[in-house]
Amino acid sequence: MKFGIVARRDKEEALKLAYRVYDFLKVSGYDVVVDKDTYEHFPYFNERDVIPLEEFDVDFIIAIGGDGTILRIEHMTKKDIPILSVNMGTLGFLTEVEPSDTFFALSRLIEGEYYIDERIKVRTYINGENRVPDALNEVAILTGIPGKIIHLKYYVDGGLADEVRADGLVVSTPTGSTGYAMSAGGPFVDPRLDVILVVPLLPLPKTSVPMVIPGSSRVDITLVSDREIILAIDGQYYEYLPPDVEITVVKSPRKTKFVRFTKEIYPKYTMKIKERH
């Protein structure tokens, strides 16, 4: 069994815990590699075990951080590697265990007392080309000029679904429904469902409403306004695009895999939503 370790880079407690996990697994006789960025912020790991995240080829990744750490892993790894996530963030919608339970969770993982929770992602094509990361949470099309709305049309499976004047448009997975999409007025969607959400950002008029469509659907977005936009993937990747761009969003063939020790959805998610608000 081979493990990879990735930690939140801006929090010393996360880096120290990552080293303790690394030491525990090495002493236990397992092969372990460490993310290069983690090492650069805490250079106490054996340098021979340090590789770029893009080159991880392991059985499990131990992610010590918040949702941002998980999203970084998902954007950079080339394989769908199961992630055991330790919460060193804020709410941690995606994380599984608290820091105090880290070594108990590792023992259960090693003993095979877990299951794999698979989450859908969405893939973005820009003028027919896929050159940006898949999104675990959402793809957001945003106005390139703060204070100026954009005018766009979006089509679902070839049919015009809506013409929107708004600050932007969010195309979200069920996992992302607790993030940007919810802030824009979208619903909480059970992460076990195979659906896609389309949520306008502050539309004018307010007759443009959030939609939930089948996960097999295709969303095509074209701009009517002659204004540059920003494409944002999971709040991690940003790119300015010209107004004549055509954007397509579909379900990705890849999935995110989480190591879980319980199949509980409720009240975990609903309680975290209440904590945030």
236 is in an annotated binding site: yes
Q: What is the DSSP letter of 54?
A: G
Which residues touch 172 (CB under 8 Å, ≥6 apart)?
Answer: 122, 137, 138, 139, 179, 180, 181, 186, 196, 197, 198, 199
138 is in an annotated binding site: yes
Tell me which amino acid residue 97 is.
V
Q: Using CA atoms, how far apart are residues 61 and 276, in angstroms rounded to an integer?
A: 27
182 is in an annotated binding site: yes
22 is in an annotated binding site: no
193 is in an annotated binding site: no
269 is in an annotated binding site: no
Q: Using CA atoms, how far apart are residues 195 and 190, in angstroms rounded to an integer?
A: 10
Burial 235-255 (b: 16+ CB within 10 A, else e): bbeeeebebeeebbbbbbebb
Q: Is 70 helix (H, G, I), strand (E, B) or coil?
A: helix
67 is in an annotated binding site: yes
Element (H, E) at 122: strand 115-126
152 is in an annotated binding site: no
Which member of 37, 49, 67, 220 is catalytic?
A: 67
Beta bridge partners of 96: none
101 a catalytic residue: no
Q: Using CA atoms, how far apart are residues 129 and 132, in angstroms rounded to an integer?
A: 9
68 is in an annotated binding site: yes
131 is in an annotated binding site: no
180 is in an annotated binding site: yes
Q: How many whole angstroms from its chain centre is CA 109?
A: 23
Residues annotated within a binding site for NAD(+)? 67-68, 72, 137-138, 148, 165, 167, 178-183, 202, 236
Residues that constitute the known binding site: 67-68, 72, 137-138, 148, 165, 167, 178-183, 202, 236
Q: Which residues are catalytic?
A: 67
